[in-house]
Amino acid sequence: MDYFFIITILIALSATFGYINVRFLKFPNSIGLMVITILFTLAIFALSYFDTRLLDAEKFMINQINFKSVLLDIMLSFLLFAGALHTNFEQLKIQRWPVLVFSTLGVLISTFLVGTTMFFILKWLGLDVNYIFCLLFGALISPTDPIAVLGILKKAGVPKKLETKIVGESLFNDGIGVVVFLTLFQIASFGNQNIEVSDVLKLFGQEVIGGIALGLLLGWVTYRLLKSIDDYDIEVIITLATVMVGTAIAQKLHLSAPLAMVAAGLFVGNDTVRANAMSDTTETYVDKFWELIDILLNTILFVLIGMEMLVLVFEGNYIIAGLLAIPVILICRYASLMMPINFFKKKLDFVPYTNLIMTWGGLRGGISIALALGLTQEMHRDLFLVITYIVVIFSIIVQGLTVGKLVERLEKLPNKNL
């Protein structure tokens, strides 16, 4: 099965499921697409009791797709650049310190809390899993997914100041989370004796600082190129080249491509650069082009997430562990945000119930699944993949559908910074 045929099937399914959602369900696209794809996959499972050909064909197609590589190495750069391009830069600049702390310290605290708690839960369930592997799960599930967050918060009615915190955190913390995951992955693969603190700091500095520096350089070069001409066709292509060339350079130099694309998108998308480098026509075309890229890739991504059910190994204890992981992850996220919020709330104007909304609005998505798919069998890949999938489905469908109602209800309560 060649890649053109696979892409054709994915886009045809995305268009069909998207139409059904808009025409009948009227959910936010990411939620609707996942719900319909899961129902479609379950229907294929049911049909397989009579005829296995359709199930075999879908399994074969999914096995041809390296979900981890497709998302982390290709799609994520385009999606993060598009998200950063449309982020309110001025609000983000005001909220930069809490966003920075949420996306670094918050991820590290959550990784430790989730990993430690899951270690004891799995032991209680009779599953003997090394502590370092539980920390790996904590690292892959702690970052909130910007792709899921950006799509759903737009319709949730979250106050703009708080939306900036959640979106800003999700744009940066996936890059930080990937670096934390890679560090723990190396420790788990080679053992503590081969990893020194200096190696960890070097990896962190190279990936994070190097990635952001590359993104700012790409943003500046793009700005200079856009400023020197006035041709919206070529200017749109320049922004596309920025993402593709930047991603290739980041991968070659072992820098964080996601952080590079966030930095580049924020640089190009801020109001000063737009005013100095883009005409009104160019600005409209650039925005519309990246909105289309965002919608197309999001649609394909959530269809893929729904179809990934076919690679799961369902066992009773795995499902119980996944269900228990949902409240654990929510409680750990709430706890990891508590200290930063209490520290910054006196200096910045936080909306009431910030922690509660950020906890419920911090959705998990494709990034967590992609990282779980990257685990080896020795790291209990099948177990953590099932747990991750259950958490992601709950996060996107249940949390995504109710975050707007939560905000409405909290607005009617007395003001408290919880």
Q: What is the DSSP string of 134-148?
A: HHHHHHHHSS--HHH
Amino acid 149 reads V
pLDDT of residue 416: 57
Q: What is the dihedral of CA 46, 50, 53, 56, to 10 degrees?
A: 40
User: Which of 368, 391, 394 is CA-nearest to residue 173?
Assistant: 368
71: left (phi over 0), alpha (psi -120 to 50) or beta: alpha
> Tell me, what's the pLDDT at 225?
97
pLDDT confidence of residue 1? 60
For residue 391, the one-letter residue type is V
Residue 203 CB contacts under 8 Å (≥ 6 apart), including other chains: 179, 182, 183, 186
Using alpha carbons, list the distances in angstroms from residue 207 to 179, 260, 340, 366. 7, 9, 24, 21
Helix (H) or strand (E) holding 78: helix 76-85
Amino acid at residue number 163:
E
Tens-binned pLDDT, residue by residue, of the chain (418 aa): 688 998 999 999 999 999 999 999 988 888 899 899 999 989 998 998 998 998 898 888 888 888 888 888 889 899 889 989 988 788 788 888 888 888 899 999 999 999 999 999 999 999 999 999 999 999 999 998 876 776 677 666 677 777 788 888 888 887 888 888 988 888 888 765 566 677 777 777 888 899 999 999 999 999 999 999 999 999 999 999 999 999 999 999 989 999 999 999 999 999 889 999 999 999 999 999 998 998 898 889 889 988 888 878 889 999 999 999 999 999 999 999 998 888 887 776 677 888 898 899 888 988 899 899 889 999 999 999 999 999 999 999 999 889 888 888 887 777 655 5
- φ, ψ for residue 353 (rounded to 5)? 60, 35
Give Cβ neighbours of residue 268 (< 8 Å, ≥ 6 apart): 85, 219, 222, 223, 226, 239, 242
- What's the distance, CA 385 to chain centroid? 16
- What pTM was computed for the model? 0.91
Looking at residue 418, what is its pLDDT?
Answer: 54
Asked if 1 and 61 count as a contact pair (C-beta separation under 8 A), the reply is yes
Reading the block at residue 144, the tokens are: 């909130």
* Distance in angstroms (rounded) separating the CA atoms of residues 214 and 247: 10
Q: Residue 154: what pLDDT?
A: 66
Biggest alpha carbon distance in the chain? Answer: 65
* Residue 386 neighbours by CB under 8 Å, 6+ apart: 312, 313, 314, 315, 318, 319, 321, 322
- C-alpha span between 397 and 241 (Å, rounded): 34
- Quote the CA–CA distance of 47 and 271 in Å, as a whole number: 53
| Rg, C-alpha atoms of the chain | 21
Model pLDDT, residue 395: 93
- Separation of alpha carbons 246 and 250, rounded Å: 6
Cα separations (Å) of 24 from 14, 19, 37, 313, 394?
15, 8, 15, 32, 22
